[in-house]
Amino acid sequence: MTDLEPAADNLTTLESHILSEETRHPGATGAFSWILAAMTLSAKIIASKIRRARIEDVLGTLGSKNITGDTQQKLDVIANETLLRALGTRAGVAVLASEENEQPIILQTKVDRPYCVLFDPLDGSSNLDACVSVGTIFSILRHDTQADPIEISILQPGTKQIAAGYMLYGSSCVFVLTTGHGVNLFVLDPAVGAFILVQENLRVPESAKSYSINEAYRADFPAGYQRYLDWVHGQRYSSRYIGTMVADIHRILVQGGVFMYPPTKAHPQGKLRLMYEANPMAMIVEQAGGKAVAGTQRILDIQPTGLHERTPVIMGSAAEVDHVLRHVKAAGAE
């Protein structure tokens, strides 16, 4: 049995873990717990849809693009609608924001709806036809009741997140969650229909000779990244790139290494979205003892200016991120 496999007598489910955490907060209303319950329900539905995608003929594109310019897959829309329906019924949610929708969805302006939820419903969906792992990423913020207009309530730096997580749909369905007190990993047991806790306080290895980047665009990378790639080739690092951010980061959390998505000539501001991709993953990586930066700036310190704002990304094992930064800074000093 590996560290990520549940023991036969493990009865700690995600739901029981959430309720246990709630008891530590005497003033808790249960609204936050209901939001996480909606995420677990959505994960089970989306995982089921993915498993049956070819049978139900919902693979492939719709022939349209979303607001960020990505080609929409049929399952992008299915996953998005699933999350909107599940979260839209939760009384604590004031604002929902998705990669697939141009504007945030305002559910309620009342003070008793204290949370905003942002998500990428199906990260890596272009890989679905090849049966490659995909995932859902989410971020939870406190709703700023003084925000005017209400839409700007979501424009908070990543340091303001109260929770972040992702669901990975692969050989197993994994739910990774942080509420700012470490990272916990759960795996869906299909026999009982529950997410079972398999590892508490997950820690990313300090270093590992592995890097993840799409080297096809190397000629368009800034000089510092090219210098780093020359260095890792000389150090005989292994290249591991899946093309689904959730899957790449999950592997790094478990095995170590560094993930990079640099700026390019086509995307000088980077390509990954800050609010619902980089920020939640950065929170998870930092809570697991790693580092997450954009260029040379800590990702979680960036003040967002728009829902679909893009950013470059370097995140993973602390020592490996430092190696990248060393080369980026050296190139900038020349």
Give the DSSP per-residue string, 281-305.
HHHHHHHTT-EEEETTEEGGG---S
Round to the nearest angstrom and report the end-to-end CA distance of the chain.
51
User: What residues contact residue 113 under an 8 Å CB cut-off, 6+ apart?
Assistant: 31, 91, 92, 93, 94, 107, 143
Q: The tokens 């080297």 sit on which residue?
A: 215
User: What residues contact residue 16 under an 8 Å CB cut-off, 6+ apart?
Assistant: none
Question: Between β-strands 183-189 and 173-178, what pairing exists: parallel, antiparallel or unpaired?
Answer: antiparallel
Ranges of CATH 3.30.540.10 domains, the chain? 14-199
Q: Residue 90 — left, alpha, or beta (φ > 0 → left; ψ -120 to 50 → alpha)? A: beta
pLDDT per residue of the chain (334 residues) written in tens, 0 to 9: 455 555 556 678 999 998 888 877 777 788 899 999 999 999 999 999 999 888 887 776 776 666 666 767 889 999 999 999 999 989 899 999 999 999 999 986 655 679 999 999 999 998 988 889 999 999 999 998 888 888 899 999 999 999 999 999 999 999 999 999 999 999 999 999 999 999 999 999 999 999 999 999 999 999 999 999 999 999 999 999 999 999 999 999 999 999 999 999 999 999 999 999 999 999 999 999 999 999 899 999 999 999 999 999 999 999 999 999 999 999 886 6
- Report how far residue 43's alpha carbon sits from residue 64's, in angstroms, rounded to the nearest whole number: 25
- What token pair was written down for 291? 């580092």
What backbone torsions phi and psi does residue 24 show, to the nearest 5 degrees?
Answer: -80, -5
Catalytic positions, please? 70, 76, 99-100, 120, 122-123, 277
Q: The tokens 């090219």 sit on which residue?
A: 226
Could you please report the per-residue DSSP string of 40-104? HHHHHHHHHHHHTTTTTT--SEEEEE-TTSPEEEHHHHHHHHHHHHHHHT-TTEEEEEETT-SSP
Q: Does CATH place domain 14-199 in 3.30.540.10?
A: yes
> Using an 8 Å Cβ cutoff, are 276 and 119 in contact?
yes
- What token pair was written down for 247? 């899957």
> Using an 8 Å Cβ cutoff, are 122 and 46 in contact?
yes
What pLDDT score was predicted for residue 164? Answer: 98
Topology classification of domain 210-333: D-Maltodextrin-Binding Protein; domain 2 (3.40.190)
Ranges of CATH 3.40.190.80 domains, the chain? 210-333
The separation between CA 230 and the C-alpha centre of its own chain, rounded to angstroms, equals: 29
Closest alpha carbon to 53 in 78, 28, 33, 22: 78
